[in-house]
Structure 1
Amino acid sequence: KPLTGTMTLDGKPYAPGSTGEAIAAGVFLVAKDRSENGIVGDFNIQENISLPFHRRMSRVGVLKRRIERATARQQIRELGIVCRSEKDEMSALSGGNQQKVMVARWISQAAKLFILDEPFQGVDISARRDIAAKLRASANGRATLLFVTELDEALETADRILVMSEQTIVGEHRNADIDLERLLAEVAGRPLHSAA
């Protein structure tokens, strides 16, 4: 099943022309490298969470700080972000808590498609479980795609696992009564049973 260059959203071809267009359409991405493509180090937690959604939190061009603060506090509580308050600087947070802020940013608003590229990279098992639990609890009404390289992350988080190699889907599994031997063979890129 080679992948084609056409993406569909709501059954129609979709190719956003900009990040702003994707956000407006409800297509959100948690980038792989949070320090380069995710968090804004000079902003606090509240500002990092609200950054892409200022228009939604504004009226007549004035940002509603009350809405911004309430959104940040809710996400801190629901994701278990360890901090003193929503005003804490990002540099004061551990890597796992910075990653939770990244997820909190995008999960704070309704999405049609939520894409997370290596969302558990550089986080401890506790943060990984908190993030996975929040993704599951908020999944209703949206599609969520997780790109992971660690099999245990896929097994712990996903309902359905697609194995890819060279831009081709080489395996598809429902994460219930999974044939682990077959899955591991696909991941390793070898036949399930070698000829004797």
Structure 2
Amino acid sequence: FLVAKDRGENGIVQGFNIQENISLPFHKRMSRFAVLKRRLERAIARRQIEELGIVCRSEKDEMSELSGGNQQKVMVARWMAQDARLFILDEPFQGVDISARRDIAAKLRASANGRATLLFVTELDEALETADRILVMSEQTIVGEHRNADVDLDRLLAEVAGGPLHSAA
């Protein structure tokens, strides 16, 4: 499942409420004889609201009533509500505050068991905060690979900057 970086263009549907946005791609699975199971849809939305800490009055709140961070959480919640072996998230923290970023990162980590999660981020602190493994790419080529547990920050910064590593003399 893909969480796109531009939630306004490729993510949420502004005319829908939270519940509808979370269930949108899965209506076929939530239907029987072309009738949507509203109780199931509501239960899934409520669980995701609680697990991701989406700040709202109810699952019926319109997307336009939510902050950017909470809209982003709804986008992530949409895919977290379903079983998947792979998540691809393109700039999942774009336009969100530090609190929302931490909530999203914690939920991704907590649900990572048995699932691969691929994050594309341009902010180094986001990679260091969320990733177990960091790949640095430049011009469609992997130029560095790091394990977060034992990352060499000087080398990582040099790779991100696109220059050679210079040691202090």
Structure number with higher helix proportion? 2
Q: Distance in 1 between matches of 2:49 and 2:168?
A: 54
Partner of 1:119: 92
Partner of 1:4: none
Output the amino acid matched with 2:123. E
Taking structure 1 as the reference length, the TM-score comes to 0.84
CA displacement 1:69-120 (0-9 Å, x = unmatched)? 0000000000000000000000000000000000000110011110000000
Partner of 1:190: 163
Q: Distance in 2 between matches of 1:156 and 1:178?
A: 12
Equivalenced residues, count: 169
Describe the SS at the equivalent of 2:89. Answer: strand
Describe the SS at the equivalent of 2:13. Answer: coil
Partner of 1:67: 40
CA RMSD of aligned residues (A): 1.2
Partner of 1:165: 138
Unaligned runs of 5+ in 1: 1-27
Partner of 1:85: 58
Partner of 1:178: 151
Deviation at 1:40, TM superposition (A): 0.2
Partner of 2:117: 144
CA displacement 1:167-192 (0-9 Å, x = unmatched)? 00000000012100000000011111
Describe the SS at the equivalent of 2:70. Answer: helix
Q: Distance in 2 between matches of 1:124 and 1:107?
A: 20
Q: Distance in 2 between matches of 1:175 and 1:194?
A: 21
Q: Distance in 1 between matches of 2:103 and 2:65?
A: 19
Q: Distance in 2 between matches of 1:128 and 1:77?
A: 16
Percent identical pairs in the alignment equals 89
* Deviation >6 Å, runs of 4+: none
Output the amino acid matched with 2:117. T
